[in-house]
Amino acid sequence: MIPKEIKSYFPILNQEVNGHPLIYLDSAATSQKPIQVIEALTNYYNLDNSNVHRGVHTLGNRATDSYEGAREKVRKFINASSTQEIIFTRGTTTALNTVASGYGRQNIAPGDEIVITYMEHHSNIIPWQQLAKEKGAVLKYIELEANGTLSLEKVRETITPKTKIVSVMYVSNVLGTINPIKDIAKIAHENGAIMVADLAQAAPHMKIDVQDLDVDFAALSGHKMCAPTGIGVLYGKKALLEAMEPVEFGGEMIDFVGLQESTWKELPWKFEGGTPIIAGAIGLGAAIDFLEEIGLDNIAAHEHHLAGYAMDNLSTIEGLTIFGPRDPMERCGLVTFNLDDVHPHDVATVLDMSGIAVRAGHHCAQPLMKWLQVSATARASFYMYNDEADVDALVAGLRSAKEYFGDVF
């Protein structure tokens, strides 16, 4: 169960927008931050602010303990086997680019295949496009089912012995679809390919076990899971990371620097060039503490319920189309939709007048928009701090929007 007082932990939710209580339905873009995370950042800057690792003074030691302590929290959170497999990055985009630029450049040859899906975020498309162009590789897409899910039959048809990298999002930021990552990883490995998982929309909402999923690399963003912006994680199996060359050089990642040659630190610091994202990592550690206190299973159950409740109620609005699987157990807590004859940006603008924040646009998924045969959609995304009353307000707001634009036109 989600505690009834959950909203009180999020100071930003206690305000009015355009004369109405704020109803925040845009957590798939970024989550709000609980007071526990805000206080962790404040305490760090008020009491411990210092650079990590190289100092011998007390502040440096305290900052280092907190920073490396956050790494252990991440390791446990995704059940990695070692903190050497946890690389702090700016976010999912940086993590995926690191794999493409590091592992990809070293292991992709002309004619090799890279396999992704039509539903991927641009951050899990463009790095592979660039790699394929550079290396003369073939970028292939797994076809989607009509309801926006993946069938393992089509996965098997697409992945071949020529495939070297498969990269798929665990949860779609548009359709909400929960993809069978463990099964896809098994098929990839049977064909000699590595498996990359984009966990940006999964890690905030469900338990993640990278060893059970048997993915080779995984990426997540802190800001979608109650942590600050500018912090994320690249997970990689130790053997793969050890064989990979860094893609950023200087600062924290060096071991010895000579005039013509240099050497790198061991894992994980070899991939953390420059001054580390110290405050961000500490905030991520506090966010993980908070999520585990609430319980990922509780969050998942709450969101499945809200997704079902939202789809049931949105379906009563004439002219409203819902995208993605209709079974709430097949999707995370978001619902993407369009209202006939009303542009999604207009829908979002009218809802904002009532204090309701939703996202409108292509959601960094233009190939998926093309597949859906739309230019843009509106998206309501839920988190632990949302409830049925928020959904009721959304439905009422959409009915008002429909009437408003019906009168205008």
- Residues tagged active-site: 364
Q: Among positive and negative, which fits the CA dihedral 328, 285, 29, 394?
A: positive
- Hey, which residues does 233 pair with through a beta bridge? 88, 220
Contacts of 290 (CB under 8 A, 6+ apart): 9, 34, 36, 37, 226
Beta bridge partners of 379: 336, 359
Distance between CA atoms of residues 173 and 152, nearest Å: 20
What backbone torsions phi and psi does residue 354 show, to the nearest 5 degrees? -100, 10
Handedness of CA 286, 292, 296, 298 (dihedral sign): negative
Q: What is the DSSP string of 127-143?
A: HHHHHHHHHT-EEEEEP
Q: Which two tokens stand for residue 265?
A: 């630190």
What does the block give as tokens for 379?
């998206």
Which of 84, 102, 71, 74 shows the shortest CA–CA distance to 238? 84
Residue 284 CA to residue 275 CA, distance in Å, equals 17
DSSP state at residue 165: E
State the pairing for strand pair 320-323/163-169: unpaired
251, 274 Cβ separation under 8 angstroms: yes
φ, ψ at 356 (rounded to 5°): -100, 120
CB 273 within 8 A of CB 248: yes
Classified as helix, coil or strand, 213 is helix
